[in-house]
Amino acid sequence: MTGERGVSAVESAEDEHALVGAYALNAVAGAERSEFERHLAGCPLCTADVPAFREVIAGLARSTATTPPDTLVDETVARARSVPQERARRRRLWSMPRRRAREG
């Protein structure tokens, strides 16, 4: 059975299931996100997979997180101050000549 765009229902479902990881990462936007959320409302497999993916993602983030050194802010500000800054250039605004009021 082929749908509107020449894609079978099976291929379409596989594509939607493939978006679970991206959806869990909030990397799906716009119409594709809306379409996936409609699919998600009726798919128990994806409904179970989204929180599972988010749990794995959070675990990976925790495993690689490190505490920044206490000197990070001071060093960053010092480096930023050492970079020569350009002065702002004045831009001349061109204007139309004013029309003189006619006396009459």
Q: Which of 23-32, 82-91, 95-104 has the highest mean pLDDT?
A: 23-32
Q: Model's pTM, two decimal places?
A: 0.50
DSSP codes, 19-67:
THHHHHTT---HHHHHHHHHHHHT-HHHHHHHHHHHHHHHHHHHHH--P
Amino acid identity at 63: S
Within its chain, how far is the Cα of 99 from the centroid? Answer: 50
Average pLDDT of every residue of the chain: 81
pLDDT tens across 38-78, in order?
A: 999 999 999 999 999 999 999 998 888 888 899 999 999 99
- Which of the four CATH numbers 1.10.3470, 1.25.40, 1.10.10, 3.40.50 does domain 1-64 have? 1.10.10
DSSP 83: S
pLDDT tens across 2-41, in order?
A: 445 554 343 455 677 889 999 999 999 999 999 999 999 9
Distance CA 38, CA 1 (A): 21
The pLDDT value given to residue 8: 39
